[in-house]
Chain A
Amino acid sequence: EPEVTQTPSHQVTQMGQEVILRCVPISNHLYFYWYRQILGQKVEFLVSFYNNEISEKSEIFDDQFSVERPDGSNFTLKIRSTKLEDSAMYFCASRTQYTDTQYFGPGTRLTVL
């Protein structure tokens, strides 16, 4: 069964450093999402991406964040200058154009020291 994959599973970085989180969505899906979950809190929407552009973003997704689909398979989330409060699980999700059902990857745990 196809699934969303994410790398790395755990990333540790120093405050102020740039990180890139990678996702490979399900191959026939056209809509891609990033969510984050701070420990003990709910899953929060960050950004959605369709047809090579951002279709919606939340207040959390400020100028420090960017997304890219550099090739036909990868979808990345970049945080330019990480802050302590960026420490969280980051989930990638994808769906087809026909349904609202989103399938999530296993997540990347980001720890900012």
Chain B
Amino acid sequence: QKEVEQDPGPLSVPEGAIVSLNCTYSNSAFQYFMWYRQYSRKGPELLMYTYSSGNKEDGRFTAQVDKSSKYISLFIRDSQPSDSATYLCAMSVGVQSGTASKLTFGTGTRLQVTL
């Protein structure tokens, strides 16, 4: 079983739609969860991060974590063509563990928002 699983897509939605992107994980030691956006042949750009179960909102983006189910989601409201990119989930065991806290990534979901 892969440590982090993410549907690769592609996911195509019309402008204005609500997008739901999801990842599951198997390692219960993961405590810190991030979402990155990556445009083609560019570096990952941090969108959101959270430690705790529950929801965290930032503008049109909401990150949701359910540690009991080992499931995280990113919701994008009022999607725009400029949101077209690959969305990567990433997670780590956290700096409190005393480790280097490397990130483990999902494969990324390619999102296309059409006019």
Taking beta carbons and an 8 Å cutoff, which residues of A are in contact with B? 4, 6, 31, 33, 35, 41-45, 48, 50, 55-56, 58, 89, 91, 93, 95, 97-107, 109
**Known pairs A42-B108, A89-B41, A109-B41; A101 contacts B100 (CB<8 A):** no
CA distance A103 to B101 in the complex (A): 13
CA distance A109 to B36 in the complex (A): 19
Whether B65 sits at the interface, judged by CB under 8 Å, is no
CA distance A42 to B92 in the complex (A): 15
Contact assessment for B44 and A43 in the assembled complex, using a CB-CB cutoff below 8 Å: yes
Whether B32 sits at the interface, judged by CB under 8 Å, is yes
CB of A104 to closest CB in B, whole Å: 4
Contact assessment for B102 and A56 in the assembled complex, using a CB-CB cutoff below 8 Å: yes
Q: Which 6 A-B pairs rank lowest in CB-CB distance, beginning with the nearest?
A: A48-B100, A55-B100, A100-B32, A56-B100, A104-B43, A43-B105
